[in-house]
Amino acid sequence: MNRELLQKSKLASQPYEDRSVGCPPDPDLSAMTKEELETRRGTVGRLRDLVKKAETGDKKPLPDIRTILRESLELAWRIMNYGKVAE
């Protein structure tokens, strides 16, 4: 069983009330350390570069994009929540 299926099965076995639902709150940038801010900026920059490559038709960056979005739920919501972007 691959790792992704194992994660899905673990999530499915969690009680509903223990699952996170909806957009996570925006991070409090003022409370972040300098290292955390640098890491976040690096992640956003890396994501931006990978997306630019993917837009040209290159499929190699897709696994890295998925990994970043899986690990950074707030970024995934920020990118995917078109209603929030439209506001």
Question: Rounded CA gap, 33 and 44, in Å?
Answer: 17
Residue 77 tokens read as: 């919501």
Scanning the structure block, which residue is given the tokens 């972040």?
32
Residue 64 is predicted with a pLDDT of 94
pLDDT tens across 17-70, in order? 555 566 667 778 788 899 999 998 999 999 999 989 998 999 999 999 999 988
Q: State the distance between the two ends of the chain, measured CA to CA, in whole angstroms.
A: 42
Environment class of 33 (CB within 10 Å of its CB; exposed 0-12, middle 13-18, buried 19+): exposed
More confident residue, 55 or 9: 55
Residue 50 is predicted with a pLDDT of 93
Confidence band of 76 (pLDDT split at 50, 70, 90): confident
**HSE, side-chain direction, 13 A CA sphere, residue 10:** 7
Indicate the helix (H) or strand (E) that contains 67: helix 62-71
Confidence band of 1 (pLDDT split at 50, 70, 90): very low
